[in-house]
Amino acid sequence: MNFVAICLHSCDMRDFHSNMRDTPFMDRLRRESVFLPLGRGQGHHQGDSLNTELTGIWTARYCDSSLTEEGLKSPENCRFPKTVIEYLEEDGYDLFTRISLGSPKLGTFAVVGGLERFWMKDEPQRLEQFFTPKEVEVPGDVAETYADAEIPAIPEMMATIQGSDKFFACFFVRETHRAWGQTEGLCALEGKPPGNWPVDAFSARKAALDKPDEFAALRRRGLASADKIVESIFKATQHLDDVTYLVYSNHGEVYDHFRYNLPYKNDGRTMIVGTSHGSYPYEVLYANMQMWVIPGQKPRVMKGIGRSVDIPATILDLAGIEHGPMDGESMLPLFAQGNFPDRERYAENQHRGPSAPVLGYGCLSMVRKDGYKIISTGPVKEFQEGEEKFGPDYHQLAVVDLNSDPYEYVNLIDSTEGQEVLEWAMNRHLELKDDAWRKS
């Protein structure tokens, strides 16, 4: 089995609800695939969103974070487990991976932002798996055939994999990430001169709230561009045998959520002052989707919540490759059933510390099978001489019931059920740390 995986970085499925969207290829693809409209990823930002979809293992198992009644203490040390890419390479697969930022339209900063600075900081050789090959000589006939490809990497890709008996190709398409594919337009909304790169999430969220129609147009433009990129990749590989395609997003976004019936202040530095538990841990930030096109597999829309942690086991199942213990499981039997059962979900984002002071500041989200969710809401903020400083080492905690409170308004941490969920979470977090097979 050959594989083509395409991640639409930070793609928000709400954009597909617009009757003004221009995505004919992906509209058709959703009808012709095993479609998971409701999924959940590992992280809410590029530093950690790759972790479980690469390893199939919950992050808590390979970092030294702690969860107590005081709150979440972010990790200072970690080790990164074996990735699905390494399993495939050991089995003789030829690799074409574009996870590291390598062109204007492909790649993400996740490798240099999270993996290189924290998760694999002592393993520079392993980082090469995320951006291969470095240079490829493109034969003239290949270059001519794909001269009109939507992305420059298509000829390089074809030069790499044509004639290969087994290949794994992985792309990260950045056009769907906030509005960064339309930098000039976002600068204009922010009143900045063209080429003046806007401050990451803050400017996008501010523009979405202050100028929602204009910002939505930028998002639709990026989605339309991504649609053409995905179509180009499919067309470039459609003549190859036994190809499984996975088109997915690693996480969602928060732009205009939770501003109604709440104190609202858009100062450009915080998303919205006055929300119930801060801007990071909301479910919409972990929300994603998956579209699988598998030879011989009938299209269907899956019910229930899918998980990114199941992606590696599913790929290795299709490849017929045995692997070590994983928290994720192959989705193939569940594809046949058409629904996902209620299952535990876990996400932990990278530390805040001197080696990575701006990459997420740590976050935890644990969802129990019954829908209770415990989250960290960020460290207490202190202000010294007008500058924002971080306070205690431990992050505050909140508990919500996603079944009765899907918008996560009410913090139950001090209630009887909230304390019971906290006890469950501390025990479960400790179990994840103490698993003997993770210490080897």
| Beta bridge pairs of residue 383 | 388
The DSSP-derived string for 326-361 is -SS--SHHHHHHTBPPP--EEEEEPP-BTTBTTS--
Lowest mean pLDDT, pick from 122-131, 132-141, 182-191: 132-141
Q: How far apart are CA 90 and CA 323, in angstroms?
A: 11
Whole-angstrom distance between the N-terminal and C-terminal Cα of the chain?
Answer: 31
Q: How far apart are CA 404 and CA 272, in angstroms?
A: 23
- CA dist 316 to 96, 244, 297, Å? 17, 12, 16
In angstroms and rounded to an integer, the radius of gyration of the C-alpha atoms of the chain is 21
More confident residue, 43 or 315: 315
**98 — pLDDT class (breaks 50, 70, 90):** confident
pLDDT tens column, 416-438: 999 999 999 999 999 998 775 56
**pLDDT value for 409:** 82
| Dihedral pair phi/psi, residue 350, rounded to 5° | -70, 165
Let me know the angle formed at the C-alpha of 17 by 13 and 19, rounded to the nearest 5 degrees: 140
Taken in order of first residue, the domains within the chain and their CATH numbers are 2-341 (3.40.720.10)
Q: How far apart are CA 58 and CA 248, in angstroms?
A: 19
Nearest to 400 by CA among 375, 426, 429: 375
184: three-class secondary structure by DSSP: helix
Hey, what are 353's tokens? 């510390």
pLDDT of 122 strictly over 60: yes
Lowest mean pLDDT, pick from 79-88, 93-102, 181-190, 237-246: 181-190
The DSSP-derived string for 246-309 is EEE-S----SSTT-TTS-----SSSS-TT-SS-SSS-HHHHEEEEEEE-TTPPPEEPBS-EEGG
**What percent of the chain clears pLDDT 90, i.e. is strictly above it?**
35
* pTM (2 d.p.): 0.89
pLDDT of 269 strictly over 60: no
| Beta bridge pairs of residue 348 | 364
**pLDDT value for 153:** 67
Instruction: Check: CB of residue 57 under 8 Å from CB of residue 317.
Output: no
Q: How far apart are CA 2 and CA 168, in angstroms?
A: 6
Instruction: Check: CB of residue 143 under 8 Å from CB of residue 155.
Output: yes
Hey, what are 5's tokens? 């995986």
Quote helix, strand, coil % in the chain, to nearest 5.
35, 20, 45
pLDDT tens column, 40-52: 988 776 667 788 8
Q: How far apart are CA 304 and CA 340, in angstroms?
A: 5
Instruction: Check: CB of residue 273 under 8 Å from CB of residue 263.
Output: yes
Long-range CB contacts (within 8 A, 24+) of 365-371 = 365/281, 365/286, 366/425, 366/428, 366/429, 367/40, 367/402, 368/344, 368/421, 368/424, 369/342, 369/343, 369/344, 370/342, 370/403, 371/342, 371/401, 371/402, 371/403
Q: How far apart are CA 352 and CA 360, in angstroms?
A: 7
- CA dist 201 to 68, 133, 143, 387, 400, Å? 30, 31, 37, 19, 25
Neighbour count for residue 153 (Cβ, 10 Å): 25
